[in-house]
């Protein structure tokens, strides 16, 4: 009896949590936003990778990481997950790598860069490798703390998010309310369908809150495109918190700050202040719960590629090789081609869920529409947070109905077919019910 008790105690260790952080600011001249905007010139504020390593009482470690970059797609997602898994002593399927999606920040897609054959157009491969090595080193150096309690709270964010897609007569998109909106009557249109709540999760070692995670669904830009590297208003809000905070962008494919943002430089501080206030309010609303078990569920999904001649390989290859076209458009085509070929080869993307005390945290790919987040919250009686902007290969992921409405987000920037909705909703249900592997 004593021997069995000893063995049980040896197998079931106390849960632990280890925060980590690393600098991922690009050097001057590095491409920003996958080559779609002016390259890095000045640094308005540094970019960070932040996260936590969770050590369950049983099972291998879990890594959650959010980077102040615009995107990590296709082969680069695989590389980052593998690197952080090695650093933490776990397997890639137990690693969630997400970007906050700021646009005055780098993006990486090694698959596309290889196809394009020109470094320094959509990414700086040297900076990408160095950043990955720094983050992996930070994971290895992270010092675990005993995890005794988890706390969960939420708060409404005042005047930040609004739906980008303004529908007109006949149910079609009449206007897209982008990051900044001015000089249009549509700017004052109602917020539309959003998730106004910021979710907050705290990790405690006894009476000390060791780290916190925040989740909120909006495009994270106030203004961008002038070469000033910045973590934008979410970075400012995060930096204002007294405790170590990791910020994840939720399902914000069709959500932005356009209704409340005129694009003026001073508005960035206003939006940051509102988001910071919600972070503090959500933190104050948190309720503590003893940590019983930490569980992880995963389902692999194959997303259907967009159909039509413009989404076929012949058209994409022609666009990528068109030397008369701007390099940024050729780089876009390389990303499209990478996703197409990976899809044809049967690429599967993991949809994962962290079950932590009374909360569930979903991890999904692409620029997911907010409806997926709202649907997930209806599936569970407990609080559900969601991090999108994982694998950026599919880019925008709309609802089936949205593809009939037109608009930017369901145009060529979405590389998946309308059937994606049924696939992802079922995957969300499965991992929330812990029926994944």
Q: What is the pTM of this model?
A: 0.96
pLDDT at 4: 46
For the chain, how many residues are written?
437
From the centroid of its chain, how far is CA 224?
19
CA distance 339 to 178: 25
The 3-class secondary structure across 119-173, one letter per residue, is: CCCCCCHHHHHHHHHHHHHHHHHCCCEECCEEEEEEEECCCCCEECEEECHHHCE
Indicate if the alpha-carbon torsion angle 35, 36, 41, 42 is positive or negative: negative
Q: What is the pLDDT of residue 169?
A: 87
Proportion of the chain in helix, strand, coil states, percent, rounded to 5: 35, 25, 40
Between CA 238 and CA 249, with CA 243 as vertex, the angle to 5 degrees is 35
Residues paired with 247 in a beta bridge: 214
Question: How far does Cα 42 stand from its chain's mean position?
Answer: 25
The C-alpha atoms of residue 331 and residue 103 are separated, in whole angstroms, by 16
Q: Spell out the per-residue pLDDT of the chain, length 437, in tens.
A: 444 444 444 456 899 999 999 999 999 999 999 999 999 999 999 999 999 999 998 999 999 999 999 999 999 999 999 999 999 999 999 999 999 999 999 999 999 999 999 999 999 999 999 999 999 999 999 999 999 999 999 999 999 999 999 999 899 999 999 999 998 999 999 999 999 999 999 999 999 999 999 999 999 999 999 999 999 999 999 999 999 999 999 999 999 999 999 999 999 999 999 999 999 999 999 999 999 889 999 999 999 999 999 999 999 999 999 999 999 999 999 999 999 999 999 999 999 999 998 999 999 999 999 999 999 999 999 999 999 999 999 999 999 999 999 999 999 999 999 999 999 999 999 999 986 55
């Amino acid at each position: 009896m004593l021997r069995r008790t000893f063995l049980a105690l040896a197998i079931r260790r106390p849960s632990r949590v280890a925060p980590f952080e690393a600098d991922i600011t690009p050097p001057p001249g590095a491409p920003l936003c996958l080559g779609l905007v002016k390259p890095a010139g000045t640094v308005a504020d540094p970019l960070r990778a932040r996260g936590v390593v969770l050590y369950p009482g049983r099972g291998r470690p879990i890594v959650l990481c959010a980077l102040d970059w615009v995107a990590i797609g296709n082969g680069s997602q695989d590389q980052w997950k593998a690197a952080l898994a090695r650093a933490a002593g776990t397997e890639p399927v137990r690693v969630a790598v997400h970007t906050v999606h700021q646009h005055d920040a780098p993006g990486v897609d090694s698959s596309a860069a290889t196809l394009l054959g020109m470094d320094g157009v959509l990414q700086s491969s040297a900076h990408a490798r160095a950043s990955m090595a720094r983050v992996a080193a930070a994971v290895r150096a992270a010092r675990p703390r005993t995890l005794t309690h988890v706390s969960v709270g939420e708060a409404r964010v005042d005047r930040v998010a609004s739906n980008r897609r303004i529908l007109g007569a006949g149910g079609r998109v009449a206007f897209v309310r982008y990051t900044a909106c001015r000089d249009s009557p549509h700017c004052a249109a109602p917020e539309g369908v959003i998730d106004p709540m910021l979710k907050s999760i705290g990790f405690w070692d006894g009476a000390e809150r060791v780290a916190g995670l925040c989740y909120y669904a909006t495009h994270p830009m106030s203004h961008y495109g002038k070469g000033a590297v910045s973590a934008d208003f979410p970075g400012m809000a995060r930096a204002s918190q007294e405790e170590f905070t990791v910020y994840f962008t939720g399902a914000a494919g069709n959500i932005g700050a356009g209704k409340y943002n005129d694009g003026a430089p001073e508005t960035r501080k206003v939006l940051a202040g509102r988001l910071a206030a919600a972070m503090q309010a959500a933190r104050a609303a948190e309720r503590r719960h003893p940590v019983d078990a930490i569980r992880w569920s995963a389902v692999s999904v194959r997303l259907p590629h967009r159909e039509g001649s413009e989404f076929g390989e012949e058209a994409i290859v022609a666009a990528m090789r068109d030397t008369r076209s701007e390099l940024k458009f050729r780089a876009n085509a390389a990303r499209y081609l990478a996703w197409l070929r990976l899809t044809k080869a049967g690429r599967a993307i993991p949809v994962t869920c962290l079950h932590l005390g009374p909360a569930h945290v979903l991890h999904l790919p692409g620029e997911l529409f907010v409806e997926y987040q709202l649907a997930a919250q209806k599936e569970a009686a407990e609080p559900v947070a969601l991090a999108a902007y994982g694998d950026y290969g599919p880019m925008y992921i709309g609802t089936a109905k949205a593809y009939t409405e037109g608009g930017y987000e369901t145009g060529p920037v979405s590389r998946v077919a309308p059937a994606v909705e049924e696939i992802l909703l079922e995957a969300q249900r499965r991992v929330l019910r812990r029926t994944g592997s």
